[in-house]
Structure 1
Amino acid sequence: MDSSIRTGQERIMYRTGAAARLAGLPVETLRVWERRYGLSEAQRSERGQRLYSAEQVARLGLLKQLVDQGHSIGVLAGLSREQLQSMLGHNLQAQAQPSAPVRVVLVSKVLGRRLAAMGREATGLDVRAQCPSLERLDELPADAEADVMVIEMSELDDSVLPLVAAARQRVNVAAAVVLYRFCPSATIRALRAQGCLVVRVPADLGELALLCRSALGGQRLPLSESEPAITPRRFDEDALVTITTASDRLSCECPRHLSDLLMMIGSFERYSVQCASRNPEDADLHALLARASGQARVILEDAMERLAIAEGLPLPDRQRA
């Protein structure tokens, strides 16, 4: 049975099952993504069936590949097809590099033990030398024959700037990756000005090889911390006011309180994004605030959807689809 439709202009459109199959998605997953994020703005046939263009199917395929690589659908949903393609191309380029492990020098108290426990094949790294801190650089051989220096510290401030420069001078490496957990944005910018790739310690150390290859290629990481991605809102102010008005007949005031929280968090999220773009001194900090409030909003929107369904309250059209 042909599951595609040709329009009057000979434009091929695909029904939900065919679109999901071509994108490599289970139909149920596609429906959940559509309901929560309104991903593809599918058209409707005369019988009310969803129809997807080839371009929309291609975008769904990009989303599937990036989600499989560990990216959050909540973040990806707000990106254009070009941005998704750029992210995927970046990842594929890194994967296409020669399979030989990246030769690294480690400056860390614990990273060496964790990487050793994982093994070279799992990490994609060949540790040539290591020392526990920047203050003990004399323990690093000058002839380590490494490609990348990886420096890991929980807290960073401006005092590390000359130490990082000295470490790179002592060991002749092509690139440096600095990992942190807490760091002022001014220090991050100063380290990046030195040519370092500066990121938070990844939860999965298997990503470290990708970071090292990115540093070697002088590539900018997709979804930079200074460029917060806003997940599309499922409830705008009009929808929240509608829910609040409809909930006045209920003895439970939770819908009204939750609506107030969503309005406040959504407003703070947008405000933080604006601050990140107009305040370069604290761009990374405001980008962090925007991401954190966006994540909180998504969680509360899930709760609001479940609460509205349980109480029989009106949902936006996208949630009913």
Structure 2
Amino acid sequence: MTAIELQPRPLYSIGTVSRLTGVKSDTLRVWERRYELGASCKTASGRRQYTQTDLEHLQLVAALIGNGARIGDIASADRRTLEVLLRQRNGALGDPVPQSKPRILFVGEALCDWIDEHQGCLMNVSALLARTTPQALLDGELDEIADIDGAVFACPHGVNGDLPALRNLAARIGTSNVMVLHPAGSAAALAALELDGALAGQFPPDPAQLTFYLSRCAAEKSADPGAGELQALVQPKERLFTEAELEALRQAPNDADCQCRAHIADILKALVAFEEYSANCASDDWRESAVHACVYAYTGQARWLMEKALSRVADNHRD
């Protein structure tokens, strides 16, 4: 079998990794020199390029060091061990361990070239690029492909002849979350894709549609498996106040010069109602679904932030 090279994307500079981890660039260089804890890739000129996996690993290391761990004790630990250690240090009430981003396989030379020019679409995923055909990948060595959460296949010459290979490859890597990009195809082939549950799109891809698909993969990874409702696709933030608690805060005596509790409680009641409404918005059109998903996510975030604000105001009044 021919080994298939998988190219990770996106790639981050050391400055970006420093910003995202809170670890100084000089410290990252020391960790790489002393503990081989560094970038998986380098350019021809020797510039470090960190993969999404590298970044997530370093974020766990940084979180543990922030909780009192010593770099020498954890530098050689794998991700699973780091996650266990972080849970133990955080305790039941600590911050949750960050979840890894979904691994998405992109297959097709033209598609991989397009991705390299549009890496902004990959902000929610960890991508693996296979610059080959679905059949060649199926015939090659697939040991490197594990824990794939979704796949995007490009069929620039039409989907008709590639349909069997697409089905077999999706089954081989163990994912039903598939997007197939093509310029044209017979009605029967496109209908077969739809029956298989695949999302079909044009090639070259529409960046908005591809971003929506990848965002859905990210949401599904953090939601309950198999859930298809909008409120399950976007992981909601738990409410900090019940309806009764909001009403009690709204009715509580306020200072003459400060009515913040009552105003924030009113805002929260409106946000809660709209959040429930937006979660039940449904559409068969992917563009409308993407808009509804964003509205629902942003509303939940706004509600959670206002709950944080109300907590601060309520604590201040108690003091």
TM-score (norm 2): 0.41
Higher strand content, 1 or 2: 1
TM-score (norm 1): 0.41
